[in-house]
Structure 1
């Protein structure tokens, strides 16, 4: 197809950890494969990651929210309600930037992953979220109503999960009380693919170093893993201009990995230790991995997902404060994550941008 005639689709993930950006990678690839021109937009580490994955595509910088709402919706604790005005001001500013971008660049469609200001009434706009219900904070009912008010501004809401009872997001992404029209379950999103499994590493650690709790866990793991009997690869999830690799005893540390490297490493690791972020769960389910999860302390969503998976007999979890090396052995008695075969039907989803 003539590149000049390709419709431009703005893809804008929230910069909160790396999960929103990583789950947009298969969307950008699919847009490319279906004759669209993806234009990436975000801020911070999320934007830097997308630039590394897709250096051939245009990338725009959006304003950073720098709000705790971006981290497990903790804004809705009572002590954070005073910050709502500031958050809405940032969303309004972002919305104005998107409007200018649409008008100046001829954008034909918008896919926002959890950025409530990235929409424009003049073009088909989609929001991707697995949050139909908010379970975090002191006021989950208020948080859910605000979340759903954001969602209603979009033409469609795509949930990265399946609608069937065997699903990944549970009550987060499924609701009998939802009043939002045009909710579509798009299937799970993962940038990774299952390949032949070898055993190059006994343990792979995935830990985005973002926040005090993650730094504390990293320090704890660095000490404990020196006594681990086996080869360990530790991916810190710190997106920097250059990749760095260091060795300490039996542990090889990477500051970050691109998708193809990470796919190879995880496929060839016997066990994975990670946070139960929703994007991690989707990735590791696609690879059918044995996993031990350690939720971020105080993150009610991660704890809910970890408990859900443990109850299903798939993966155990440990509390960060009490974690010991012996906890890793728990994963052997669980089934491991399974691919729920929720493949996105891209042609059907993208028909929105074709006016079909």
Structure 2
């Protein structure tokens, strides 16, 4: 006799590198709850604080990973390579923690958002990522093949890999997930966004500029300081969301209002009712902006090749303005975005997400009995 949805427990665990992974998991968690599944959240840090505010009634378990030190200057990838042994140890550590959680909570399915150690051979495990083909800097681009094989080895430990994008030419991730044909275990599930587009929400602008900050320190603070320096004391009405839900503050400084975090409804309202948006080029932010059909100025975190690629790729599609952090001059980017003509309506015709279908198929008896679909040892 198979369990009903109500008795099935799903462990969902987003990576705590910035807030993007936690934010994009919000609509997934809501879908799972609506479908009758019992959801348990396992993460840490700012991501944990964010999800506790969004889902106060759910069980939250601290699942520690590994802390990474980010450079002040352009040496992100090299810094990551130096810390690779630490990352590998962290993946092994989180894997051991997950085995305990599975037994203690009687978990039926795992959903891991970019956490390579959050899987089990005991239950089906789903991995979420939009980076199947990691882009490396020119200096070490020759290593991409090796990195791809290493990553595929990690992903092969999971039953399925879900890609939050569209399968065909109309897509957001470009060659990050469309470089070559993928095996059947990989499924495109459409963009994941917590927002719903409403034309009525943006008739009048409340803010001249909305700044959405996120990502690792010290680069988050460096960008915040740079933007404030250019906007403070101007006639522009600015709302700055610092992306720090673990902190509690809200202040007004001349023409700039600072908030640490906005709820889902507040953020949607702020985006749709702001004339100009400035943000990092994080994939989750991009999905949200596309869902709300809002153009923006994207400033990638320095040396994060994924963000640099995405910003440039989408700039070439006339969807966003791409500006490097060191080259940011507010007057220049405002002129550029005012001239930008976008067409987000093409995404309305794209295939809707099939995330729940993948989850339901995962629980199908044929799936569970199929050795190819059970987590590999």
For the criterion TM > 0.5, the same-fold answer is yes
Show the counterpart of 1:126.
126
Show the counterpart of 1:34.
35
Q: CA RMSD in A?
A: 2.2
The separation in 1 between residues aligned to 2:206 and 2:86, in whole angstroms, is 48
Show the counterpart of 1:229.
235
The separation in 2 between residues aligned to 1:329 and 1:86, in whole angstroms, is 44
* Residue 310 (1) aligns with residue 319 (2): no
- The correspondence for 1:323, drawn from 314, 328, 346, is 328
- Shift of the alpha carbon at 1:344? 1.6
1:162-186 Cα offsets, whole Å, 9 max, x none, are 00101000000113164x4410001
Q: Is the 8 A contact 2:19 2:47 kept in 1?
A: yes
- Shift of the alpha carbon at 1:107? 0.5
Q: Is the 8 A contact 1:67 1:75 kept in 2?
A: no
Q: Is the 8 A contact 2:76 2:302 kept in 1?
A: no
- Shift of the alpha carbon at 1:3? 10
The separation in 1 between residues aligned to 2:267 and 2:47, in whole angstroms, is 17
- Shift of the alpha carbon at 1:142? 2.1
Which shifted more, 311-320 or 329-338?
329-338
Change (3 A) 1:121 1:10: same
The separation in 2 between residues aligned to 1:38 and 1:191, in whole angstroms, is 17
Show the counterpart of 1:97.
97
Show the counterpart of 1:88.
88
Change (3 A) 1:209 1:346: closer
Map 1:266-345 onto structure 2 (within 5 A): 266-326=271-331, 327-336=333-342, 338=344, 340-341=347-348, 342-345=351-354
1:190-219 Cα offsets, whole Å, 9 max, x none, are 112222213111111001263122212111
- Shift of the alpha carbon at 1:304? 1.0
The separation in 1 between residues aligned to 2:215 and 2:157, in whole angstroms, is 33
Show the counterpart of 2:20.
19
Show the counterpart of 1:64.
65
- The alignment partner of 1:121 has SS state of coil
- The alignment partner of 1:202 has SS state of strand
- Shift of the alpha carbon at 1:335? 2.4
**Gap regions ≥5 residues in structure 2:** 366-377
- Shift of the alpha carbon at 1:63? 1.5
The separation in 2 between residues aligned to 1:307 and 1:86, in whole angstroms, is 31
What count of residue pairs does the alignment treat as equivalent?
348
Change (3 A) 1:345 1:60: same
Q: Is the 8 A contact 2:31 2:356 kept in 1?
A: no
- Shift of the alpha carbon at 1:127? 0.1
Which shifted more, 6-15 or 194-203?
194-203
* Residue 205 (1) aligns with residue 176 (2): no
- Shift of the alpha carbon at 1:76? 5.7
* Residue 261 (1) aligns with residue 258 (2): no
Q: Is the 8 A contact 1:294 1:319 kept in 2?
A: yes
Show the counterpart of 1:111.
111
Change (3 A) 1:81 1:231: closer
Change (3 A) 1:3 1:152: closer
* Residue 153 (1) aligns with residue 157 (2): yes
The separation in 1 between residues aligned to 2:226 and 2:84, in whole angstroms, is 35
- The correspondence for 1:352, drawn from 361, 372, 377, is 361
Q: TM-score if structure 2 supplies the norm length?
A: 0.87
- The alignment partner of 2:257 has SS state of strand
- Shift of the alpha carbon at 1:147? 1.4
